[in-house]
């Protein structure tokens, strides 16, 4: 089998693609659709740079085959409104930027589901996103600031 | 390489009955690690279970918690009943990788990947979990503590799929889970431990200290017989028979044995008056 046909939604848009069976979800938006926000860091599910939402849950797109997402909803960092980034810019939560798309996807999941903080803290929820610049305090402070902003809004 | 995507369990079992080399694939958190450079893995046939929805849900029956073949760690982390009745499952799930792994990784995958360091397996084994295998020839149940025969050797025929993991509902008065790794998240376990005590007695299960996750029968016997232990080294006499740790990139055999004996000692000292 040289290719498989897969239909899914990418950032709300229906996609019908024919891809090699070995293609990872990481590669499909990047190299087939032209959405290069999702980054590859480690390729082993440790760094979280490739984090996307699959049916609303954060996953490492380097560990998913595109052939597996038939009928599902995939969201990449491009789906997030620019103002999602505001707290990160204000808090200096981005340095080299390599981890930022994954960090934003993990953070936006927390912001969309503040009930997660009843059982988890921000650091545990973001433990799957490594920052090679080690800017963790800035990242966690920015998520906290964004949560506070949302509570007031 | 080919990826077969059945829509029902019946179709999936039909494929496995014909093609014994097909590798079941669900969360992919083990199978897809370093995928682009593992060219030999691209030669295989994969049975993608993503469309087999009947394997996804976990259910509570009067007697059991039944995990589906595709139930993920995150499914259990989010179940408040699991937190009350099987807190070790939730504790274990929360230290597997990080959230992005927990949302994809499955309990059944953790069992069949058969890593000695598997973090989900000690808790399951301590709760007396039973592996439910199914093929076109029928269903079979194998207690998890008899599922492994050696390193990566297990009681699953290639035509069988883990369709469920049955965990009997019992009451426990001692429940312990510990994982020692280089950090709290994203770490492969150097030494891990799960302990329970119910009407059926003690279960002590360790990971990363033998070719498979294993019950520590000699330590269990020490606890059943209330053998007095008065120092952290006191459990060595049991562990010498139960475990066979090795030196590797993550730790040493010596460290693993010493730390495991201390974990058992300090966790149980408050619960057992014969451990002083």
Q: Which residues contact B36 (CB under 8 A, 6 or more apart)?
A: A24, A43
Q: Which residues of B touch A99 (CB under 8 A)?
A: none
Rounded Cα distance between A105 and A102, Å, is 5
Residue B127 lies in a domain: no
| Range A89-115 average pLDDT | 94
| Range A42-61 average pLDDT | 98
In B54-93, the residues whose Cβ lies within 8 Å of chain A are 74, 77
Residue B210 lies in a domain: yes
pLDDT in tens, B243-264: 999 999 999 999 999 999 999 9
Residue B17 lies in a domain: no
Residue B264 lies in a domain: yes
Residue B275 lies in a domain: no
pLDDT in tens, B82-98: 999 999 999 999 999 99
Residue B203 lies in a domain: yes
Among the residue ranges A85-94, A97-106, B80-89, B161-170, the one predicted with the least confidence is: A85-94
Q: pLDDT category, A1, cuts 50, 70, 90? A: low
Interface test with B, best of A30, A43, A59 (most B CBs within 10 A): A59
Task: Write the CATH number for B191.
Answer: 3.30.390.50
**φ/ψ bin of A46: left (φ > 0), alpha (ψ from -120 to 50), beta (otherwise):** alpha
Among the residue ranges A110-114, A118-122, A145-149, B135-139, the one predicted with the least confidence is: A145-149
Rounded Cα distance between B21 and B126, Å, is 32
Percent of chain A with pLDDT over 90: 87
B46 min Cα distance to partner chain A (Å):
10
Q: Assess whether pLDDT exceeds 90 at residue A152.
A: no
| Range A38-65 average pLDDT | 98
A117 min Cα distance to partner chain B (Å):
12
Residue B260 near residue B195 (C-beta atoms within 8 A): no
Q: Assess whether pLDDT exceeds 80 at residue B128.
A: yes
Q: Which residue of chain A comes nearest to B3, CA vs CA?
A: A21
pTM above 0.90, yes or no: yes
Rounded Cα distance between B197 and B98, Å, is 29
User: Quick one: which H or E segment has residue B195?
Assistant: strand B191-198
Q: Assess whether pLDDT exceeds 80 at residue A98.
A: yes
Residue B229 near residue B261 (C-beta atoms within 8 A): no
Residue B260 lies in a domain: yes
Instruction: Provide the domain limits for residue B230.
Output: 174-268
Q: Domains (ranges, CATH) in chain A?
A: 4-76 (3.10.20.30), 80-152 (1.10.150.120)
- Using DSSP's 3-state secondary structure scheme, residue B109 falls into helix
pLDDT in tens, A69-94: 999 999 999 999 988 888 888 888 99
Q: Assess whether pLDDT exceeds 90 at residue B199.
A: yes
pLDDT score at A40 = 97
Using the Cβ of B7 and the Cβ atoms of chain A, whether some distance falls under 8 Å is answered with no
pLDDT score at A2 = 81
Q: Assess whether pLDDT exceeds 80 at residue B100.
A: yes
Using the Cβ of A125 and the Cβ atoms of chain B, whether some distance falls under 8 Å is answered with yes
Using the Cβ of A59 and the Cβ atoms of chain B, whether some distance falls under 8 Å is answered with yes
pLDDT score at A32 = 97
Residue B74 near residue B113 (C-beta atoms within 8 A): no
Using the Cβ of B35 and the Cβ atoms of chain A, whether some distance falls under 8 Å is answered with yes
Q: Do B50 and A69 touch (CB under 8 A)?
A: yes
Q: Which residues contact B225 (CB under 8 A, 6 or more apart)?
A: none
Using the Cβ of B99 and the Cβ atoms of chain A, whether some distance falls under 8 Å is answered with yes
| Range B130-146 average pLDDT | 98
Beta bridge partners of A24: A65
Number of domains making up chain B: 1
Q: Do A127 and B99 touch (CB under 8 A)?
A: yes
Q: Which residues of A touch B184 (CB under 8 A)?
A: 124, 127
What b/e sequence results for A122-134 when a residue is b if at least 16 CB atoms lie within 10 Å of its CB, and e otherwise? bebbbbbbbbeee
pLDDT score at B101 = 98
**Which residue in B46, B104, B186 is closest to A46 by CB distance?**
B186
Percent of chain A with pLDDT over 70: 99
- Using DSSP's 3-state secondary structure scheme, residue B139 falls into strand
Q: What is the mean pLDDT of chain A?
A: 95
- Dihedral sign (CA A90, A114, A81, A96): positive
CA-nearest of B32, B98, B27, B7 to A27 is B32
Residue B228 lies in a domain: yes
Rg (CA), chain A: 16
- ipTM reported for the complex surpasses 0.90: yes
CA A152 to chain centre: 25
């Amino acid at each position: 089998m040289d290719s498989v046909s897969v239909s899914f939604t990418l950032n709300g848009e229906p996609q019908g693609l024919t891809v090699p069976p070995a293609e990872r979800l990481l590669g499909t938006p990047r190299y087939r659709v032209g959405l290069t926000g999702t980054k590859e860091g480690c390729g082993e599910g440790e760094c979280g740079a490739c984090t996307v939402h699959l049916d609303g849950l954060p996953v490492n797109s380097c560990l998913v085959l595109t052939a597996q997402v038939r009928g599902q909803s995939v969201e990449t960092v491009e789906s997030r409104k620019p103002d999602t980034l505001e707290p990160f810019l204000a808090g200096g939560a981005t340095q080299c930027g390599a981890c930022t798309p994954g960090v934003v996807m993990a953070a936006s999941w927390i912001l969309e589901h503040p009930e997660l903080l009843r059982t988890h803290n921000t650091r545990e929820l973001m433990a799957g996103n490594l920052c090679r610049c080690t800017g963790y305090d800035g990242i966690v402070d920015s998520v906290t600031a964004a949560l506070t902003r949302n509570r007031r809004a | 390489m080919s990826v077969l995507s059945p829509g029902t369990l019946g179709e999936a079992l039909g494929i496995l009955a014909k093609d014994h080399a097909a590798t079941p694939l669900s969360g992919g958190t083990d199978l897809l690690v370093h995928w682009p450079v593992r060219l030999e893995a691209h030669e295989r046939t994969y049975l993608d279970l993503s469309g087999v929805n009947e394997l996804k849900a976990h259910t509570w029956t009067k007697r059991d918690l039944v995990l589906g073949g595709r139930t993920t760690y995150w499914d259990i982390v989010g179940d408040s009943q699991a937190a009350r009745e099987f807190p070790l499952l939730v504790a274990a799930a929360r230290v597997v990788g990080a959230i992005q792994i927990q949302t994809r990784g499955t309990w059944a995958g953790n069992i069949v990947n058969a890593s000695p360091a598997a973090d989900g397996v000690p808790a399951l084994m301590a709760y007396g979990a039973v592996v439910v295998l199914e093929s076109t020839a029928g269903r079979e149940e194998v207690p998890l503590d008899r599922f492994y025969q050696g390193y990566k050797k297990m009681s699953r025929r290639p035509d069988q799929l883990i369709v469920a993991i049955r965990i009997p509902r019992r009451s426990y008065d001692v429940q312990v889970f510990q994982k020692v790794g280089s950090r709290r998240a994203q770490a492969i376990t150097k030494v891990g431990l799960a302990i329970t005590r119910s009407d059926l007695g003690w279960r002590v299960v360790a990971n990363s200290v033998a070719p498979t996750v294993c019950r520590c029968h000699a330590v269990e016997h020490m606890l059943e017989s209330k053998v007095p232990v008065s120092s952290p080294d006191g459990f060595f006499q049991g562990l010498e028979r139960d475990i066979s740790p090795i030196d590797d990139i993550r730790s040493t055999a010596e460290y693993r044995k010493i730390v495991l004996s201390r974990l058992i000692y300090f966790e149980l000292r408050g619960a057992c008056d014969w451990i002083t």
